[in-house]
Structure 1
Amino acid sequence: MAHSRTVIFAALAGNSAIAVTKFAAAFFTGSSAMMSEAIHSVVDTGNQLLLLNGLRRAAKPPTERHPLGYGLQLYFYTFVVAVLIFGVGAVVSVLHGVERIRHPEPIENAWINYLVLGLGILFEGAVWLVALKAFNQERAGRGWLAAVRSSKDPTVFTVLFEDTAALLGLMVAMLGVFLSQTLNMPVLDGAASVGVGLILGVTAFFLAAESQSLLTGEAAAPHTRAEIKAIAGAQPGVTQINELLTMHFGPREILVALSLDFDDLMPAGEVERTVNRIESAIKAAHPDVTRIFIEAQSFEAHWGESAPISSAGSRSDP
């Protein structure tokens, strides 16, 4: 998780610095698009603090009340970040832009806007490159969308998407200021503010969709599940793998539940030793597996209590 913290701290430093300068520029120039960008930077700064708090809380050890730990806290705070991007960043930017469209005012000292927006692109671009480098290491050659959908660490892609939205917003704001002056149409400054809000809205929707999937429980990667099955099935005395369930309680915390059918002639002591070997082998191959529960049960008894779900959604006989 060290690289996640590095990305977040880089984003926090960049967003904090540029937020102050954007507010100053918005105050002196009266630009609606610049005010939206300032709000955007404040929201992003708050989001980095929330992600850091999520990482801190997720690292807490298990307790009697939370025996499986606090790993899901990180996913919760990622979802809160998505809500804030939409509720504060997107909605406020759109409302501010609509108000400026209804009551347009010319931009004063526009050179300040260009200077601040240029610095913003420089700072945000540097943070974006840090986040992109970390994301590329994580995606390991996979496509961008596939890497996001399969990632169990939302901090890196959250910062990457935030900074992508920030760069696009800065470009839209600069275009709005330029056209507003060049065409002598102050209303375009308000339109740029609305554009920044729409960019934030799309970003928030995507992040919310990904974080809610993680928050409601995602299984381990297909190759991880296949290797766990292979380890269990290779043990002498295991005649059938009834069911394998996995769930991520954090980026590096996987719960594994196995139902195995053992040879009926195996002594109880040998079953126990086999279970121990399976647990040791799984944890050696996959250190992210932190909890393993193995149930010894016949195939018929297991599925007699809970028949498999067919592709049509109804229960079927084993």
Structure 2
Amino acid sequence: MKEESPKAIFYALAANLGIAICKFAAASFTGSGSMFAEAIHSTADCGNQLLLLFGLRQARRPASPLHPMGRGREINFYSLLVALLLFFVGGAFSVYEGVHRLFAREPLQFAYVALAVLGVSVVLEALSLWGALKEIRKRHPDKGMWRWFRETRESELLVVAGEDIAALAGLAIAFVAVLLTMVTGNPVWDALGSIGVGLLLMMIAWLVAREVKSMIVGESASPEVRGAIEAHLRARAEIRGIVNMITLQWGRHVVVAVQAEMIDYASGRAMVDAINVIEEDLQATFPQVRWVFFEPEVARSGAASA
């Protein structure tokens, strides 16, 4: 199976590093709480992308006696760390900063600078999100965004897309908050913008963490992959029926365990040869299937595929 390229993460890292520097400079120059919250968010995104790159590297380490099936699921652990950082470093800190400025009522200076930086950031984040959505559509052309979000087994792509959505929506909130502050002269809008950005980040981080947690616990292959594998096995002439089938997503790969009623064979050796042919054909048809555990079974009354 082809290795996933981390190029998209490198591009996002470079973009967020540049955006973070601009935001910190603008926050220092204008005194904007919303801008400062956005600068913290972009800095957190840089750390998140470094964690994802490290997680992808760890996930590609070969199998060992301690990890006989490899470490493909390790990327899920680092994706969960990213979601937690997005929640606490990005979201909770932004809420804290907003509450602090709500009471401090610090004036906003040179708001047009903040608006210019936010406008440029919106364009860059929109391009980044467009790249993530393009990748999702290429891999899953028949799925809507929400369905893909609930069914995907690609935790690193899930995190990148979630970050991009949170970043773009947060920038829109910060832009409106700074604009209202500039028009009304009331710094409360800027503080409320920081709080709004923080709450938004915390909500998206929670949604991402919930999905990644499910991957860590252990999920089957995606519904369409599982259905295709089962249909492929049922079509085999050597198999009378599927008694039970379990799939397990293991990083980029899939584990398949099958109990199937076989046709009659003259000898046990002939049945073993037939099972070997079935396994080789299954892995050739579905390159993501790394491990196949096949158990010939006598059909039991009322048995059904699980």
- Band of TM-score, shorter chain: over 0.9
Equivalent residue, structure 1, for 2:96: 95
1:95 Cα deviation from its structure 2 partner: 0.6
| 1:200-215 correspondence to structure 2 within 5 Å | 200-215=201-216
Query: 1 CA distance for matches of 2:53 and 2:22?
Result: 24
1:296 equivalent to 2:296? Answer yes
Q: 1:165 to 1:31 in 2, by over 3 A?
A: same
RMSD: 2.2
Query: 2 CA distance for matches of 1:133 and 1:231?
Result: 29
Deviations 1:180-221 (A, max 9, x none): 121121111111000110110111011111111222212123
Contact kept, 8 Å, 1:235 with 1:274, in 2: the verdict is: no
Q: 1:28 to 1:237 in 2, by over 3 A?
A: closer
Contact kept, 8 Å, 1:3 with 1:134, in 2: the verdict is: no
Query: 2 CA distance for matches of 1:189 and 1:228?
Result: 54
1:154 Cα deviation from its structure 2 partner: 2.4
Q: 1:238 to 1:115 in 2, by over 3 A?
A: closer
Q: 1:233 to 1:165 in 2, by over 3 A?
A: closer
Equivalent residue, structure 2, for 1:23: 24
Equivalent residue, structure 2, for 1:315: none
1:198 equivalent to 2:199? Answer yes
Tell me the TM-score normalized by structure 1. 0.89
Contact kept, 8 Å, 2:86 with 2:205, in 1: the verdict is: yes
Q: 1:115 to 1:235 in 2, by over 3 A?
A: closer
Contact kept, 8 Å, 1:135 with 1:157, in 2: the verdict is: no
Contact kept, 8 Å, 1:82 with 1:208, in 2: the verdict is: yes
Query: 1 CA distance for matches of 2:238 and 2:169?
Result: 59
- Runs (5+) with no aligned partner, structure 2: none
SS of residue paired to 1:243:
strand
Contact kept, 8 Å, 1:231 with 1:281, in 2: the verdict is: no
Query: 2 CA distance for matches of 1:142 and 1:223?
Result: 11
Query: 2 CA distance for matches of 1:195 and 1:13?
Result: 26
Q: 1:230 to 1:128 in 2, by over 3 A?
A: closer
Q: 1:230 to 1:203 in 2, by over 3 A?
A: closer
SS of residue paired to 1:299:
coil
Equivalent residue, structure 2, for 1:314: none
Equivalent residue, structure 1, for 2:261: 261
Contact kept, 8 Å, 1:101 with 1:187, in 2: the verdict is: yes
Query: 1 CA distance for matches of 2:163 and 2:230?
Result: 38
- Runs (5+) with no aligned partner, structure 1: 311-318
Contact kept, 8 Å, 2:243 with 2:305, in 1: the verdict is: no
Query: 2 CA distance for matches of 1:282 and 1:265?
Result: 21
1:277 equivalent to 2:290? Answer no
1:237 Cα deviation from its structure 2 partner: 4.9
Q: 1:267 to 1:234 in 2, by over 3 A?
A: farther
1:135 Cα deviation from its structure 2 partner: 1.7
Query: 2 CA distance for matches of 1:92 and 1:22?
Result: 16
Deviations 1:40-67 (A, max 9, x none): 0011111111111111111111111011
Q: 1:227 to 1:156 in 2, by over 3 A?
A: closer
Query: 2 CA distance for matches of 1:86 and 1:163?
Result: 14
Equivalent residue, structure 1, for 2:180: 179
Contact kept, 8 Å, 1:237 with 1:266, in 2: the verdict is: no
Q: Which moved more, 1:77-86 or 1:153-162?
A: 153-162
Contact kept, 8 Å, 1:98 with 1:190, in 2: the verdict is: yes
Equivalent AA in structure 1 for residue 292 of structure 2: I
Equivalent residue, structure 1, for 2:162: 161
1:292 Cα deviation from its structure 2 partner: 0.4
1:80 Cα deviation from its structure 2 partner: 1.1
Q: 1:49 to 1:111 in 2, by over 3 A?
A: same
Equivalent AA in structure 2 for residue 292 of structure 1: V
Deviations 1:274-304 (A, max 9, x none): 1101101101110100000111232349x9x
1:16 Cα deviation from its structure 2 partner: 0.5
SS of residue paired to 2:6:
helix
Query: 2 CA distance for matches of 1:134 and 1:237?
Result: 38
Contact kept, 8 Å, 2:80 with 2:209, in 1: the verdict is: yes
SS of residue paired to 1:246:
strand
Query: 2 CA distance for matches of 1:154 and 1:47?
Result: 13
Contact kept, 8 Å, 2:59 with 2:72, in 1: the verdict is: yes
Tell me the TM-score normalized by structure 2. 0.92
Equivalent AA in structure 1 for residue 203 of structure 2: V
Query: 1 CA distance for matches of 2:183 and 2:237?
Result: 79
Equivalent AA in structure 2 for residue 149 of structure 1: R
1:260 Cα deviation from its structure 2 partner: 2.1
